[in-house]
Amino acid sequence: MAGESQAAAITRVVALLPQREMVLEALARVTGSAAFHSTRRGQAFLQYIVEHALAGELDQLKERCIGSTLFGRPADYDTGSDSIVRVTANEVRKRLTLFYSQVEAPEPVIFELPVGSYIPEIRLTEAECLAPEPAAEPEYSTPAAVAPPTFVALPAKSLPWRTMAISGWCLALILGGVWLRGKVATGETLQARSLRSLPWVALFEGGRTPQLILADSAMGTLRSLQPFPPSLEDYSNRRFLSPPDDLPALYLRPWNMIARKGFTSLADARMAAAYAPLAVAAGRLPVVRSARDFSLSDFRHGDNLILLGSNASNPWVELFRDQMDFLLRFEADHPNRVEIRHPHPGDPVDLASSVTSGATGEAFATLSLVNGLDGRGHVLIAQGTNMEGTDLAGELASNPDSMATALRRCGAGPANPALRFEILLRLNTTAGSATDSSILAVHCQSGK
């Protein structure tokens, strides 16, 4: 499915979150109609894709996932030889056309399934789409008058980034909108609790919203063709768009295809999902950008920033490595290593991992709050030796209880906040998921 069409489908799903009950009522009318009466498989398929779309679980709307979950196929079944999902999708498209041609009165909700996609398009014909409402004001100072927040993304410099920004941002809004409705036992939102604790207190200081900078996952993919951590100079000058002189001819075409595309990972989308409602709760406009859409001058404005990914996929991390004790090292033909520049008593030694994203084994991650360039602003960096590590670091940042527990290890708390901190994490991954994790070390500094 074309990127722009997919983005449009996702955008419509985002707008429908406040009308979820009305959408489900319309879904029940469709699946219970004469057009779907003789196909239980079609009923189950349509209900599955609509409910998962409304829940923001777009990663479940892939052919293999649908075949495994809905039709009982093995998780690794051959989708090329088993076309049950494609056949069912075609049948559902025909029956939706039949249903809407037979209805006597206009339906308030229209369901469509674009060819080549399993993300449904859901359109309202009579109700207006409502934007998510901000949560209660957190207990710290914010501007006296704040307009109701509207979700925006910054203008793009190129079409590939625009496509990635729209779809990735909309995915974050779907997940974030659902998460925003969750309450803790006291009735206070999780976002309000997070905004009163590090690192979010520091990041929401001043009049500007922290910008979330998504990793450029194309860089990590290019490393599989010629292992290298792209230098910051090469990245900022876009030299990676041209293949290296010594790249084997076999890899020239893949390099040219990958280098020109901007995309990010599910780990980054999940972090964006946690960040978006925090910005809303603070009465701010969420701002999400791609590492590829940044330039060195952007880092000299004193803005608060959130960088996702290691220097292998987000080279801008290099700007802040001189402030960090826990360094992730990526070298050709060697395991990924963690270097502790100023070890404290009890810190681990000789940490190395050869596990790539989606594989099984031990990996590492760090979450760091450092100073911006020239000492202005704060920068939160979540990175891992693989995607699952970055995901774990982002999950820690968005969990106020876990953050409080981690920072207490170095004496930081509400009465004695650390202006800078680093947390080193270990995790075991199995087939792309973290099965268990632990905090290996925490370093804090009370001053700039």
Nearest to 317 by CA among 54, 206, 326: 326
Give the Å distances, CA to CA, from 202 to 68, 99, 227, 372, 377.
44, 54, 36, 12, 8
What six digits make up the tokens of 101? 């041609």
Same domain, yes or no: 171 and 97 = no
The answer to whether position 268 is within a domain reads: yes
Q: How confident is the model at residue 162 (pLDDT cuts 50, 70, 90)?
A: very low
Q: CB count, 10 Å around CB of 408?
A: 11
Same domain, yes or no: 68 and 168 = no
Q: Which helix (H) or strand (E) holds 4?
A: helix 3-15
pLDDT of residue 17: 61
Q: Which helix (H) or strand (E) holds 404?
A: helix 400-408
Nearest to 384 by CA among 302, 328, 319, 332: 328
Q: Which helix (H) or strand (E) holds 307?
A: strand 305-308
Same domain, yes or no: 115 and 256 = no
Q: CB count, 10 Å around CB of 90?
A: 13
Q: Are 282 and 180 in contact (CB under 8 A)?
A: no
Site of tokens 């419509």: 12
pLDDT of residue 236: 87
Task: List residues bridging with 369 in a β-sheet.
Answer: 380, 421
The answer to whether position 410 is within a domain reads: yes
Site of tokens 């799903």: 13
What is the three-class DSSP state of 144? coil
pLDDT tens-digit series, residues 233-261: 888 888 888 888 888 888 888 888 888 87
Same domain, yes or no: 95 and 175 = no
Q: Taking residues 299-313, report their average pLDDT.
A: 88
Residue 110 or residue 187, greater confidence: 110
User: Hey, CA dihedral for 119, 120, 125, 131, is it positive or negative?
Assistant: negative
Range of the domain at 217: 159-445
The answer to whether position 145 is within a domain reads: no
Out of 122-131, 262-271, 376-385, give the one with best mean pLDDT: 376-385
DSSP track, 227-281: -----HHHHHTTGGGSPPTTS-GGGHHHHHHHHT-----HHHHHHHHHHHHHHHH
Nearest to 287 by CA among 153, 392, 404: 153
pLDDT of residue 366: 96
pLDDT of residue 173: 46
Q: Are 284 and 211 in contact (CB under 8 A)?
A: no
Residue 276 or residue 28, greater confidence: 28
The answer to whether position 152 is within a domain reads: no
Q: Taking residues 210-224, report their average pLDDT.
A: 85
The lowest-confidence range among 108-112, 205-209, 225-229, 313-317 is 225-229
Q: Taking residues 371-377, report their average pLDDT.
A: 87
Q: Percent of the chain having pLDDT more than 70?
A: 78
What six digits make up the tokens of 437? 């994790």
Q: Which helix (H) or strand (E) holds 384?
A: strand 378-384
Q: Are 422 and 366 in contact (CB under 8 A)?
A: yes
Q: How confident is the model at residue 381 (pLDDT cuts 50, 70, 90)?
A: very high
pLDDT of residue 417: 62
Residue 181 or residue 383, greater confidence: 383
Q: Is the entire prediction scored with pTM above 0.85?
A: no
pLDDT at 12 over 60: no
The last residue of a domain, from among 124, 143, 167: 124
pLDDT at 231 over 50: yes
Same domain, yes or no: 218 and 355 = yes
Q: Please count the structural domains in the chain.
A: 2
Same domain, yes or no: 256 and 386 = yes
Backbone angles phi, psi at 55, to 5 degrees: -85, -5
Same domain, yes or no: 396 and 253 = yes
pLDDT of residue 323: 93
Same domain, yes or no: 333 and 249 = yes
Q: Taking residues 310-321, report their average pLDDT.
A: 90
The answer to whether position 138 is within a domain reads: no
The answer to whether position 80 is within a domain reads: yes
Backbone angles phi, psi at 381, to 5 degrees: -120, 120
The answer to whether position 139 is within a domain reads: no
Provide the angle, in degrees to the nearest 10, between the axes of the packed helices 159-180 and 3-15: 20
Q: How confident is the model at residue 86 (pLDDT cuts 50, 70, 90)?
A: very high
The answer to whether position 393 is within a domain reads: yes
Residue 383 or residue 117, greater confidence: 383
pLDDT tens-digit series, residues 58-75: 778 889 999 998 998 988
